[in-house]
Amino acid sequence: MHILVIHSEDKTRRRLYQLLTAEGYDVTLWMDDPETLDLTQLSEPTLIIEEWKQEAKAGGLSAWLSLKASTDVPPIFCLMLIPQNSLAQYTSVLANGADDWLSHPVDPVELRARVLAGKHILKIKQELQDQTQLLRAELAEAEAYVRSLLPNDLTEKVPINARFIPSRLLGGDCYDFYWLDPDYLVIYLLDVSGHGLGSALLSTSVLNMLRSQSLPDVNFYRPEKVLQALNETFQMNDQNEKYFTMWYGVYNRANRQLLYASAGHPPAVLIYSQDQQPQTIEPLKTSGLPIGMLPDMQYHWQRCFIPPASRLYLFSDGVYEIKQHDQTMMNLNDFLDILSTHTADQTIDDILKQVNDRTMDRTFSDDLSLLEVHLD
């Protein structure tokens, strides 16, 4: 542990230096403006003993206060030096972010006790910081694994562009698209309840099971059969009370027919134009509860013909359930309005930019997935 003494009086600095070095501590004295300190250069846990100045901002605390909660610098403990005639202010000092206080003139016994207490707390903070950094590294590794499972965009036959933006490092959204045979293309998107590691584990389990076609006795060309099998396999009672919504479709490239079924998921949206008419926006959805909510749930399929030069959009509700500048919540119809103005020569990122421009704080509070399928 390093000790940094910040005080304007030379006598007080020298007094603290003598007492602290006698106890074997490594001490640095600072006599200049505390605001000029660059504490991002700290290399070890630091106990700061600082002079309290009532006229200073933040109740006498310096700008380094904002670094206390950061895990990018070693832990900091602030011991505020308060004149004995100002001890009535100590609650204000603590409320403004100091960790403890020390009366001035300094009593050696009190100084020793306060510093030992700060040393103990810094040790605990360092251990917590080490664990936090380890957890972050493990989560980053898990996030990289999840992203590695998601498919790359398709450029041939049926071009597909996809975007995934988790609200945290790990999210519960997942999607996939692949050919069952040269003519049949599977496209699906699912959204697990909640966020974080548990949701990500469930979504990747579903993805791996579908990609390997390891659901027993299931016709993967039949969307409703796939949803029923998933519902039997992933009941929420066995998944830490987590369930997921899903839209699953199978596109026949030869006859331009799409079979689809959904389980509590937002509709896919088909956009097309025929005979010079204004473009049509057609939501594609079937009835059915989210996967895992109830056993023995029956799901239903629908079929639609895909006109030439159509575009199909799959998305999670995170793309539109956002707070707008006027404090109102954006809804599905608002998002459909954005899709209606999107042209074939624009990119999927243009859609996300329009959505992001509506958000109050330019961030998404939920996991977000968006797929754009070009059915030329």
pLDDT in tens, 61-88: 555 666 666 667 888 898 988 888 776 6
| Structural domain contains residue 144 | no
116 and 162, same domain (yes or no):
no
Q: What is the pLDDT of residue 58?
A: 46
- Mean pLDDT, the chain, whole residue set: 88
Q: At 263, which CATH number?
A: 3.60.40.10
Instruction: Give the CATH number, domain containing residue 56.
Output: 3.40.50.2300
Instruction: Indicate whether 145 belongs to any domain.
Output: no
- Do residues 193 and 334 both lie within one domain? yes
| Rg, the chain, Cα only | 30
State the total domains in the chain. 2
Q: What is the pTM of this model?
A: 0.76
130 and 218 inside one domain: no
In a shared domain, residues 157 and 101:
no
- Give residue-wise pLDDT tens across range 194-209: 888 888 889 999 999 9
Same domain for 123 and 157, yes or no, is no
Average pLDDT over residues 259-283: 91
pLDDT (0 to 100) of residue 59 = 43
The token duo for 272 is 């097309």
Nearest-angstrom CA–CA distance, 47 and 206: 49
- 256: amino acid identity, one letter: R
Residues 112-169: pLDDT tens digits?
999 999 999 999 999 998 998 888 888 888 888 888 999 999 998 999 999 998 776 6
Domain of 75, in residue numbers: 2-139
b vs e for 15-52, b when ≥16 Cβ sit within 10 Å of the residue's Cβ?
Answer: bbbebbeeeeeebeebeeebeebebeebeebbbbbbbb
Single residue among 69, 104, 139 that ends a domain in this structure? 139
